[in-house]
Amino acid sequence: MSLPECSKTTAGALTLDKDRSRLLAALTFAASQKLGEDSPCVDENNQLRNWRMARISDLALIDMPHDDAAPRSINVYFGLEAQHMGLGKRLKIDPSRLLYALRWLHKGDPPDLDLTFAPPFARQPDVWFPYVTAVLLGRLQEADPALRERIAAASP
């Protein structure tokens, strides 16, 4: 799997350094691909969509393919609320809980990506970055025990 590289990181006046941006983008992309499943979702316009979703601890990654309105995006939300509904649970994702979005800027290969942090989290990347990377990496390692060896082999 080829890991994405961010061409830019946007968070108002704040940015993560290049290495942390690349790590966050790579973990987000890998978690969506390896841990996500196709899920019926209702968007903000009450339209039924089939998006790829991964729920990891109190994070939700929603991988939305490109359409006429927007390019592909993986949105990461923090703080989930599960509601009991008849036969099961329904996950309610409050748009104000958007932590960050990994957005494709075009359909080229390799893609140019934009990592955008949502307010109020944009002001606190040093608070949430260690938690999010630890949660994503931990869950990826559970799903793929050989991941640690491959990371060690790729390290300089």
* Per-residue pLDDT at 108: 67
* Per-residue pLDDT at 134: 94
- pLDDT tens string, the chain, 156 residues long: the values are 344 444 445 544 345 788 888 889 999 999 999 999 888 777 777 777 778 889 898 899 999 888 777 788 999 998 766 555 555 556 667 788 889 999 888 766 666 788 888 877 776 788 888 999 999 999 999 998 888 787 777 766
Residue closest to 131 by CA, chosen among 76, 63, 51, 54: 76
* Per-residue pLDDT at 75: 92
* Per-residue pLDDT at 123: 67
- Which run of H or E residues covers position 60? strand 59-64
* Per-residue pLDDT at 15: 59
* Per-residue pLDDT at 76: 93
* Per-residue pLDDT at 112: 79
CA–CA separation, 43 vs 58, rounded Å? Answer: 20
* Per-residue pLDDT at 86: 53
Domain-by-domain residue ranges, the chain?
6-150
CA–CA separation, 129 vs 145, rounded Å? Answer: 23
Sheet strands (E) in 79-124 = 81-85, 88-92, 98-104, 113-117
* Per-residue pLDDT at 130: 92
